[in-house]
Copies of this chain bind each other. A is one copy, B any other.
């Protein structure tokens, strides 16, 4: 009771009470507007008084500062219920800078990618680098690191290792339980993680694409509270009826809003949330974030108050965040000032009572201070990757991976012996980068289109080893060496020399540059890749990054060669 923060909180309460009672002025009053009341689903009039970042009254109030919001509508700040921040290629700081203007004031991130690369340190890095930002960032502990026992990642996060994390106030539970097969096989490692999260009275998020019937009953009975992988109305309704909170996902890679729109009606709406899962730089810049989903729903005829509830109060309730998600006394003043509910044009964003976006400009937040040791570790994750030409040579035929247009699945095309540009057969390799095992898996790929040189990236789901594709081994070796030189990232090499590189020094996944700069560099690299022949049907880097994902059929390339996903064994 004696500690400073406790008394500081008491003093803050006193100021808030004084403001409610009008014996002291508010810091800020939004005067003369209307606001969205989600408890009664109505639009009401009232000045909104803010003190110490908290709403302390709705009615008639005076403030040190007053903002005329006549004709405007006040909406609670938006919440992304599930996102992997790493997909944006920027740090939480720069992600916050980019999405605050879109009205995002809270998000719940699953630091699954960085955890594969840095283990617990990666989660700590995300926690530290998101402290005190104008977007409140909560986390769930990644549940499936590594994704399978075949993935050579940095470290395995078992129940013992993750248990202490559940005590962190910004860790809300266990992240998407992707391994529903392992769960149905009652594997100890999975059940222990679930029990650990439950033991701390925290949540467990789900990930069960197409799972239905008895398997779904088992999955939910085991304690999985939510799902963001429903791509059909029927599957989502089955999950809702069985008690899951359904996250309607609309992100860069996967888009389910269209299919799930009919859910956004009375009797179903209370258990629905919005999530993006993954947002790539150009998608954030071109379309926005949760605001884009809300607007899309409204354009499709959904009641704006329902769309807003799903983006605000519902995720707050699901995650047990008692003071956000609504416009009411005692709630954090995370508020959006919009023109109309139909347009939802966000003119001003107020976070914890401070104006963070106004007149088309974002007020730059303070950068969080990250422990030096964590920042240093984050730049060292490529140091163990090494490769020579002999590692890439083959005498025997190797597996040939066939890309499928517009899809993440691949086809098992049998085997190939050598690069054959006339038939679009390229060599592909994965170079282990975490433990200096010297493992280099090699194979062939068809459908990528590159005509010369090599392309490499250190983003390679889920273990994020270095993946490289090339028309010849020399350029492939040069590309991997370039990735190592730039401490992780993406590169294109022709004639033994890099023609363009994008360093992603944080774990080989993220940059410290702003989103706009990263996007420019990435778009430039993608343009170069296409000019070197990469098919316009594929995203040069994203497609590569999925080639190592050992859970999506039919075949993938891992650190020890081409892998048959359906049989779960190397070819």
| Number of interface residues, chain A, beta carbon within 8 A | 71
Given A57-B214, A221-B57, A267-B40, verify A331-B243 contact (CB < 8 Å): yes
User: How far apart sit A220 and B328, CA to CA, in the bound complex (Å)?
Assistant: 9
Q: Which residues of B contact A223 (CB under 8 A)?
A: 13, 330
Given A221-B56, A320-B320, verify A40-B240 contact (CB < 8 Å): yes
Q: How far is the CB of A262 from chain B (nearest CB, A)?
A: 13
Q: Which residues of B contact A363 (CB under 8 A)?
A: none
A217 touches B13 (CB 8 A): no
User: How far apart sit A217 and B330, CA to CA, in the bound complex (Å)?
Assistant: 9
Specify the chain B residue showing the minimal Cβ separation from A19.
B221
B58 touches A222 (CB 8 A): no
B329 touches A214 (CB 8 A): no
A329 touches B21 (CB 8 A): no
Specify the chain B residue showing the minimal Cβ separation from A317.
B317
Specify the chain B residue showing the minimal Cβ separation from A188.
B10
A199 touches B6 (CB 8 A): yes
Q: CB within 8 A of A196: which of B1, B21, B58, B225?
A: B1
Q: How far is the CB of A546 from chain B (nearest CB, A)?
A: 30
A268 touches B330 (CB 8 A): no
Q: CB within 8 A of A268: which of B17, B40, B159, B270?
A: B40
User: How far apart sit A13 and B185, CA to CA, in the bound complex (Å)?
Assistant: 11
Q: A396-422 CB contact bits vs B (8 Å, 1 = yes)?
A: 000000000000000000000000000
Q: A213-237 CB contact bits vs B (8 Å, 1 = yes)?
A: 1110110111111000000000001
Given A13-B195, A40-B241, verify A20-B221 contact (CB < 8 Å): yes
A326 within 8 A of B: yes
User: How far apart sit A326 and B271, CA to CA, in the bound complex (Å)?
Assistant: 13
Q: CB within 8 A of A1: which of B56, B159, B214?
A: B159
A37 within 8 A of B: yes
B22 touches A326 (CB 8 A): no
Specify the chain B residue showing the minimal Cβ separation from A195.
B9
A4 within 8 A of B: no
Q: How far is the CB of A24 from chain B (nearest CB, A)?
A: 11
B220 touches A21 (CB 8 A): no
Given A13-B191, A57-B221, A199-B6, verify A215-B21 contact (CB < 8 Å): yes
User: How far apart sit A271 and B270, CA to CA, in the bound complex (Å)?
Assistant: 12
Q: CB within 8 A of A270: which of B215, B270, B330?
A: B270
A364 within 8 A of B: no
A41 within 8 A of B: yes
User: How far apart sit A322 and B223, CA to CA, in the bound complex (Å)?
Assistant: 10
B218 touches A17 (CB 8 A): yes
Q: CB within 8 A of A21: which of B18, B169, B203, B218?
A: B218
Q: How far is the CB of A217 from chain B (nearest CB, A)?
A: 4
Q: A6-47 CB contact bits vs B (8 Å, 1 = yes)?
A: 100110011011111110000000000000010111101000
B39 touches A241 (CB 8 A): yes
Which residues between 286 and 301 of chain A lie within 8 Å of chain B, taking CB atoms?
none
Q: CB within 8 A of A266: which of B9, B20, B214, B266?
A: B266
User: How far apart sit A291 and B237, CA to CA, in the bound complex (Å)?
Assistant: 30
A192 within 8 A of B: yes
Q: Which residues of B contact A237 (CB under 8 A)?
A: 40
Specify the chain B residue showing the minimal Cβ separation from A322.
B225
Specify the chain B residue showing the minimal Cβ separation from A239.
B39
Q: How far is the CB of A326 from chain B (nearest CB, A)?
A: 6
A390 within 8 A of B: no
A222 touches B9 (CB 8 A): no
Q: A238-251 CB contact bits vs B (8 Å, 1 = yes)?
A: 00111100000000
Q: Which residues of B contact A322 (CB under 8 A)?
A: 201, 203, 225
Q: Which residues of B contact A42 (CB under 8 A)?
A: 267
B57 touches A194 (CB 8 A): no
B195 touches A328 (CB 8 A): no
A-B contact pairs, 24 of them (CB 8 A): A1-B196, A9-B198, A16-B221, A17-B186, A18-B186, A19-B221, A20-B217, A21-B184, A21-B218, A37-B241, A39-B241, A41-B267, A42-B267, A55-B221, A58-B242, A59-B213, A220-B328, A220-B329, A220-B330, A221-B330, A225-B322, A243-B331, A270-B270, A317-B317
Interface residues, chain A, with chain B CB atoms under 8 Å away: 1, 6, 9-10, 13-14, 16-22, 37, 39-42, 44, 54-59, 159-160, 163, 169, 183-184, 186, 188, 191-192, 194-196, 198-199, 201, 203, 213-215, 217-218, 220-225, 237, 240-243, 266-268, 270-271, 317, 320, 322, 326, 328-331
Extra inter-chain contacts (4) besides given A57-B214, A243-B328, CB under 8 Å? A17-B184, A37-B241, A39-B271, A57-B217
Closest 3 CB pairs of A and B: A243-B328, A20-B218, A221-B329
